[in-house]
Amino acid sequence: MEAFLISTGLVALAEMGDKTQLLSLLLAARYRRPIPILLGIFAATLANHAGAGALGAWITSAVGAEVMRGVLGLSFLAMAVWMLIPDRLDETQGVQSARFGVFGTTALAFFLAEMGDKTQVATVALAAQYAAFTAVVLGTTLGMMIANAPAVLLGERLTRRLPIGQIHRLAAALFLLLGLLALFDVGQVF
């Protein structure tokens, strides 16, 4: 349960103001069909994070505990810094065609937007930290839905009212804490 809750919270915070949240707004404004958009986000995130979680689990089994602790610590510290860098939606990742329908367009756009994104990297690190692949993947997927569903359902008004900078600083502080705890071998985080 710990892995699920930490994964959910970290990703929900990390996604605030992220390019995928901007993509959610773009899709909502363009198609005005929230259900297929939300289902597309869910499907893409689950597939993307399952792959990232599998990579994290494999890394854990492939290297020793000392090496893994160092890699995790440095990964979380890098995530803390990355959280402080504003994210923008690349024009090339925008929705270019509706030939796949609303669901297909959303799923494809989200899957591609998440490749190499901070939440994918966080999923790898969290899956490596915890021996709980399913809990981490479900947690990170729920975190993505918590962050992106309001963007789809409430639109641009929501992002104008959220203190995105403060949310990013809070997420950075949490990643910093996780990194330091891992580096100094403080045991199971939280």
Tens of pLDDT along 83-114?
Answer: 677 655 444 344 444 477 889 888 988 888 78
CA geometry: angle 178, 88, 147, nearest 5 deg: 55
Distance between CA atoms of 31 and 52, rounded to whole angstroms? 29
CA geometry: angle 14, 16, 18, nearest 5 deg: 85
Domain count, the chain: 1
The mean-pLDDT minimum among 12-16, 63-67, 149-153, 185-189 falls in 185-189
**Could you tell me what percent of the chain has a pLDDT over 90?**
18
Residue 106 forms part of a structural domain: yes
Residue 188 forms part of a structural domain: no
Residue 189 forms part of a structural domain: no
| Cβ-proximal residues to 92 (8 Å cutoff; 6+ apart), any chain | none
The predicted model scores a pTM of 0.68
Residue 86 forms part of a structural domain: yes
Residue 190 forms part of a structural domain: no
Please count the other Cβ atoms lying within 10 Å of the Cβ belonging to residue 104: 15
Contact between 18 and 114 (Cβ < 8 Å): no
pLDDT digits (tens, 9 = 90+) for 111-160: 887 877 778 888 888 888 887 889 999 999 999 999 999 888 876 555 45
Contact between 41 and 145 (Cβ < 8 Å): yes
Q: Which domain holds residue 65?
A: 2-90+98-183
Residue 32 forms part of a structural domain: yes
